[in-house]
Structure 1
Amino acid sequence: MKTDFIEIFQTIRAALQPYTALDFSNRINSDEAYDLWSDKNFKSESESVTERFFAAVEITGKGVSFRCGTDEQLIEQLDTTYMAKIEDQLSATYKTFKEEEWV
């Protein structure tokens, strides 16, 4: 089980980085924060979108904040089971992005 916030951050960031090969780009890439966005332009009847948030991880004073889509979690400990849930969440959110043609 990982309890060091830097180690937790780096583990989650490593899970996010392969998504850059799937047409996501990052706005922030530092030792304490990393995020991914889709830059695909999208128009619907009610909105015109030039970018859409996908996921982010950031070290905070209380733990590691992980956001994926609209879900946000504060992580203080990370084990393989929790990491698998994060990877499943990333995969499910990516599937939604593909189905909606946001990426």
Structure 2
Amino acid sequence: MENGLGVDQDYAKAIKLYKLAAETEEAIAFFSFAHLFGNGKGVRQDLRLAYIYSQIAVRYGSKRAGEYRDALAGQLTAEVRKEADVFAAAWTVKQPLPGISEASASPVGRE
């Protein structure tokens, strides 16, 4: 849905599917959210959130997310990285996804 390969490109549907996958702690879902926020695809670009999602994806086993997180790190201040690291470490699947409206599973600011 996100890339539109074989289907119409639809970020809202992609976000809903990623949200479902995130609820089952799938690393690829968090890595996908990192890319959406990092590139401003279907959501307002937010490198802090991209970094947070990358960090969460790393926790769930994604090595590629670690590389992406490290690339993002150079674009954030040390203070922002520290806050994001603390947030990502404390975040659990029982909490709302950062930057995603719980009610509609749509990106905050793009509803």
Normalising by structure 1, report the TM-score.
Answer: 0.32
Structure with the largest fraction of helix: 2
Tell which structure's C-alpha radius of gyration is larger: 1
Structure with the largest fraction of strand: 1
